[in-house]
Structure 1
Amino acid sequence: MAVTDPVDIRLLAALADLGKTAVHELAAKVGMDPREVAYRLVALSGSGLPLLVGVESDPQGLRAAIAGAPPSWANRPPQQQFPAPQQFAPPSHPVPQQPAPPMPPGPGPQGVPSGPYNVQGAPSGPYTVQGAPSGPYTVQGTPSGRYPGPPPRPQFAPPPVPIDPAVSTWGLPQTASWARGDEPARPAATGKRGKLGEVMETQGLEGEQLSVQLLEVQDPADYLFGAAGYRLEAGERAVVVHTEITNRGSIPFASLPDNYLELLAADGTAIGKAPVSLTSRPPHKIGVKPGETLGGHTVYVLPDATRVVSVRWSPRPEPDERTLTWSIED
């Protein structure tokens, strides 16, 4: 199958570089909404491409969420909740042909029985009455009083699951802030810390042995931004960060080196890179081969009043023990 949509082409190219990744990480790499990325991947997977879209969950948390579902869900017709139970035919034996007594009048509409009636000599098992509805139906109008009806079918609800008190809050969608139920929670890690100009060693997602150096932070860099043909809004400024990455191992680093390179403000806010590049300051390119050292520049646009205190590099959106942080204040 030939892919012609430029958005799909860019999405598949990024996925081919990563090989295997989460939807929200792929969305962050290409700068798209995770919901649109998931929709496009499912559509492409069904078109015959060698693509498998998966999902991962917290089983205990999902069961707890199901147990706390609103009553309106439980009141749905059973066939909308679970597959209908298998019907078994009644035992076969002769039935005397006797006329049935007339049906008592009821508040239901003409032609719809207002309640059950007994036929003498009928078999003890379930049987079908001609003209009776085969499923739930609605009676127009308000009945004048209670009337007998068939016994309600049993509701098959999942057994209640005790809610773990530790699971008090859920993270925002696509943030992966929850821990898997089948794995112990990992302790929070901040990674390594250094100062401007220092080289720090870390690992990539596939075990790549990397060295990353923060060479320069140009703040402000409005003149470089304007020279490239871009325009800042009132109250904004541009910042340019120069980093260099070395692959010290034998595993190729297939990602964009500054994909998750962020500025950290004094209040702890993380500032992501702007989707622009400067002709006078070449950007990073995807991939670093074993033994190769490559550099590049990353551009940021932020409020003029924001005070930047550090630069953070990570191989994934959420910081972990592989994260590197440089302080740029004296």
Structure 2
Amino acid sequence: MAVTDPVDARLLAVLAELGKAAVHEIAAKVGMDPREVAYRLVNLSATGLPLLVGVESDPNGLRTALAGGWAQQAPPHPAHGTPSGAYPVHGTPSGAFPVHGTPSGTYPAQGAPSGAYPVHGTPSGRYQPPAQQHRPPPPRRQPPPPPDPVMSTWGPPQSALWARGDQPPATAPPAPRTGRTGEVLETHGLEGEQLAIQLLEVQDPADYLFSAAGYRLEEDERAVVVHTEITNRSGVPFASLPDNYLELLTVDGKPVGKAPVSLTSRPPHKIGVRPGETTGGHTVYVLPAAMRIASVRWSPRPEPDERSLVWTIDD
């Protein structure tokens, strides 16, 4: 299958280079949140790609944690015979591979008895239910009183509905905060961080910067570089990559994700912004040469919401 998402392509390229690695190692190489890396890899493995996503654990430590004794026991140790780092599955090559040898039917777990067995503590004789006791019938529920026509029309006294009870309150979500290139827009992160983000510059096209960094564009492609700056005005650290969900928007509203490349002459963003810190970086995009870009959008998560920011690009 063809991988069209640039972030997925970047993850697969790093994984193809490493062969096998832990999720946090891949996340460190691509500068992403390990939770999002794991989410994307699991989704990619479900599409039929030769990719196997696994986990490693200390079975004894997990059983102790489930029993409520994790806080009192010593630090977890690897199980006997299990390596402490990332490891290959026995009998499989180290590169991309399909999974072989998986049985087609269901099979019992090791140690489970093959036949039916009695539950401990259950009497072997015939069970006699206790004698039924006569209970009084539950009281009948009284129907609710009819609504007050004045309250249903005008609402509670001295409320907003008292002035205009004939119209329902507005429930539409607030529109994203908008501005133009060069302006600072304020928003909040997923953990309540107070953020101020400025769109400093949009270089379109930026083919010469792309070529100077050693990359090559196709004949029908062009490169765009976006320079942004973020300030954390709260006491809560911003732990994500500042441009993780910085997108270009076409004239018809379609988003364009960033390319998994960085330029030596235009340094990229680094993960995390400490309280009171201001940091900047550059984000690279590769798109069709004829595609027109109308704006830039920043969001704290993959799906845009009321915390998203949108800057209109000057023609």
- For Structure 1 versus Structure 2, the TM-score category normalised by the shorter chain is 0.5 to 0.7
Partner of 1:242: 227
Matches of 2:117 and 2:32, distance apart in 1: 49
Instruction: Note the C-alpha offset of 1:5.
Output: 3.8
Query: What are the superposed Cα offsets for residues 271-326 of structure 1, whole Å, 9 maximum, x if unpaired?
Result: 00000000000000000000000000000000000000000000000000100000
Amino acid at match of 2:188: Q
Matches of 2:301 and 2:56, distance apart in 1: 25
Matches of 1:5 and 1:308, distance apart in 2: 38
- Cα pair distance change 1:283/1:48, threshold 3 Å: farther
Amino acid at match of 2:269: H
Alignment check: 8 A CA contact 2:32 2:241 kept: no
Check if 1:34 corresponds to 2:43: yes
Alignment check: 8 A CA contact 1:196 1:328 kept: yes
Check if 1:6 corresponds to 2:17: no
**What does 1:1-330 correspond to in 2, within 5 Å?**
5-6=20-21, 8-11=23-26, 13=28, 25-26=36-37, 32=41, 34-36=43-45, 43-44=54-55, 46=57, 188-330=173-315
Query: What are the superposed Cα offsets for residues 7-40 of structure 1, whole Å, 9 maximum, x if unpaired?
Result: 53424659x9858x5xxx4457xx7563449x86
- Cα pair distance change 1:7/1:323, threshold 3 Å: same
Query: What are the superposed Cα offsets for residues 90-132 of structure 1, whole Å, 9 maximum, x if unpaired?
Result: x99xxxxxxxxxxxxxxxxxxxxxxxxxxxxxxxxxxxxxxxx
Aligned CA RMSD, in angstroms, stands at: 4.0
Alignment check: 8 A CA contact 1:17 1:254 kept: no
Amino acid at match of 1:221: A
Extract unaligned runs of 5+ from structure 1. 52-83, 93-185
Q: Secondary structure at the match of 1:201?
A: strand
Matches of 1:208 and 1:317, distance apart in 2: 17
Partner of 1:81: none
Amino acid at match of 2:186: E
Instruction: Note the C-alpha offset of 1:258.
Output: 0.2
Higher Rg of the two aligned structures: 1
Q: Secondary structure at the match of 1:207?
A: coil
Partner of 2:143: none
Q: Secondary structure at the match of 1:322?
A: coil
Matches of 1:219 and 1:34, distance apart in 2: 33
Q: Secondary structure at the match of 2:55?
A: helix
Instruction: Note the C-alpha offset of 1:259.
Output: 0.2
Alignment check: 8 A CA contact 2:204 2:225 kept: yes
Alignment check: 8 A CA contact 2:27 2:33 kept: no
Amino acid at match of 1:44: V
Extract unaligned runs of 5+ from structure 2. 1-18, 63-114, 119-124, 127-170
- Cα pair distance change 1:238/1:34, threshold 3 Å: same
Matches of 1:50 and 1:245, distance apart in 2: 41
Q: Secondary structure at the match of 1:6?
A: coil
Alignment check: 8 A CA contact 1:197 1:214 kept: yes
- Cα pair distance change 1:50/1:232, threshold 3 Å: farther
Alignment check: 8 A CA contact 1:263 1:272 kept: yes
Amino acid at match of 1:237: R
Give the share of equivalent positions with the same residue, in percent. Answer: 60
- Cα pair distance change 1:281/1:13, threshold 3 Å: closer
Q: Secondary structure at the match of 1:44?
A: coil
Alignment check: 8 A CA contact 2:296 2:313 kept: yes
Amino acid at match of 2:55: L
Amino acid at match of 1:246: T
Amino acid at match of 2:302: P
Amino acid at match of 1:323: S
Query: What are the superposed Cα offsets for residues 212-266 of structure 1, whole Å, 9 maximum, x if unpaired?
Result: 0000000000000000000001100000000000000000000000000000001
TM-score for both structures, normalised by structure 1 = 0.51
- Cα pair distance change 1:203/1:230, threshold 3 Å: same
